[in-house]
Amino acid sequence: MAGSEFENTLIDGIYEAAIVPEGWSRVLRDTARFAGCKEALLGTVLDNDARLIASSPEFGEAYEEVLRRIPFGVNERAQRLLVHGRHGFITDKDVFSQDEIASTPLYQDILIPAGYGSAVATAIAAPSGDMTIVHCERSLSEGYVDARGVSALDSLRSHFARAGLLGRRLAMERARAASQALEMMGLPAAVLGLRGQVIDANALFQDLMPGVFQDRAARLAVAHAPADDLLAAAIAALSRPDQPQPVRSLPIPARRGGVPMVLHLSPVRGQARDVFSFASAIVVATPVTAGGGLEAGLIGGLFDLTPAEARLAAAIAGGHTPREAAQRLGVTEATARTTLKRILAKTGSRRQADLVGLLKSAAPPR
């Protein structure tokens, strides 16, 4: 394919991928080839949280490992790219001297041993505050991308900028469609951004503001302080999936004549990130209504309890004391009381009476 024809096809692919995200890997492979590199990345960054799409699964895994070892916020290579100031592509030699490369752990311990170390990249700021980064990489032994290659990539930069903005707007529409679909099922729902802020909330969820939920600038909040503490911990953990995860089903007691609720937080992971690229989670508030006793399986599902915790919680909800519940379950009273403490922590209850009231008000979600 002739050079100009290849470039035109690549430009068409950039705009197509903004609409159909599955096409980004192919576009990035072609972009790497266009730059004379082996691999390429498309990164979106907000508040030092970076999300990557790679030209190949292997390169994506390699760079995810780089970010695990050296997070974006302290990655000197990334930070120098952001502050360089050129509205175009730059190479490593534009921001690092040879001596710095020879003494920087990122190069010597990670990039060069993996067969990389020579990159050409650009950072594009969006009006929303997001940053889009286009990054091509090859081995340091192949030398730096020359001025001709940089100029060729510069010709693509405006297309990546427009496609990034288009993709952002489409992502917002997907978030809105998801929340509205849950509304049709009778469920209050909202889509949260990378910092836990509300991107979109359906009408049922908005009706619960500000009495139950509060749309703060920093993040979604719950008016009930114990539940809000659980939500804050769950949102903070979304950016660290490699760490132990806190409870993601948060009980909210009834307020001012309302009904109790359970707020379920579902992280955006895996292939879902291709669709909801600017979202961290979808939250759904499940109202619970007065009913009979709860089965252990339902209690466990509502509040992320282990089987042993769920059985004890069901016994407590049935009116049994910890001693009586221990006898029924065949465990010691000390074990039952230790388990009860974990249940109280997970459900955001301060006292056993609070727990009983919460569980007795719960019934299968509508």
Reduced 3-state DSSP string for 104-165: CHHHHHHHCCCCCEEEEEEEEECCCCCEEEEEEEEEHHHCCCCHHHHHHHHHHHHHHHHHHH
Among the candidates 143, 170, 197, a domain finishes at: 170
Residue 365 maps to a domain: no
Quick one: pLDDT at residue 301?
Answer: 60
**Same domain for 182 and 164?**
no
What's the CA gap between 343 and 307, in Å, rounded?
11
Domain extent for 130: 3-170
Q: What is the mean pLDDT of residues 287-308?
A: 64
Instruction: Give CB contacts under 8 A, 24+ apart, made by 79-83.
Output: 81/121, 81/122, 81/123, 81/133, 82/123, 82/131
Residue 294 maps to a domain: yes
Among the candidates 154, 170, 186, a domain finishes at: 170
From the list 42, 38, 8, 7, the residue with the least C-alpha distance to 23 is 42
Burial group, residue 242, by CB count within 10 angstroms (0-12, 13-18, 19+)? exposed
105 Cβ partners below 8 Å, 6+ apart?
A: none
Tell me the per-residue pLDDT of 97-147, one tens digit each, with 9 for 90 and over: 999 999 999 899 989 998 999 999 998 876 666 788 899 999 999 999 999
C-beta separation of 361 from 258 below 8 A: no
**Same domain for 265 and 209?**
yes
End-to-end CA distance of the chain: 58
**Same domain for 18 and 134?**
yes
**Same domain for 247 and 144?**
no
pLDDT of residue 359 exceeding 90: no
CATH number, domain with residue 235: 1.10.10.10
Tell me the per-residue pLDDT of 208-239, one tens digit each, with 9 for 90 and over: 998 889 998 889 999 988 888 888 888 888 87
Among the candidates 135, 170, 205, a domain finishes at: 170
pTM tops 0.75: no
What's the CA gap between 83 and 10, in Å, rounded?
28
**Token digits of residue 148:** 């001709």
Quick one: pLDDT at residue 343?
Answer: 86
263 residue type, one letter: L
Q: DSSP letter string over 33-81?
A: HHHT-SEEEEEEEETTEEEEEESSHHHHHHHHHHHHHS-GGG-HHHHHH
Residue, of 309 and 49, whose pLDDT is higher: 309
Number of domains in the chain: 2
Beta bridge partners of 123: 133
C-beta separation of 254 from 227 below 8 A: no
**Same domain for 47 and 166?**
yes
C-beta separation of 310 from 299 below 8 A: yes
Residue 249 maps to a domain: yes
**Token digits of residue 111:** 């990039």
Residue 254 maps to a domain: yes
**Token digits of residue 58:** 């292997």
From the list 43, 20, 21, 17, the residue with the least C-alpha distance to 132 is 43
What's the CA gap between 42 and 160, in Å, rounded?
9
Count of beta carbons in the 10 Å neighbourhood of residue 341: 10
| Predicted confidence band of residue 69 (pLDDT cuts 50, 70, 90) | confident
Quick one: pLDDT at residue 36?
Answer: 92
**Token digits of residue 7:** 């470039």
Tell me the per-residue pLDDT of 227-273, one tens digit each, with 9 for 90 and over: 888 888 888 888 776 666 665 777 787 776 677 777 888 887 655 55
**Same domain for 175 and 129?**
no
Please compute, for residue 204, the number of CA atoms within 13 A of its CA located in the half-sphere on the CB side: 17
Beta bridge partners of 54: 41
Using CA of residue 194, residue 199, residue 202, residue 207, what is the dihedral sign? Answer: positive
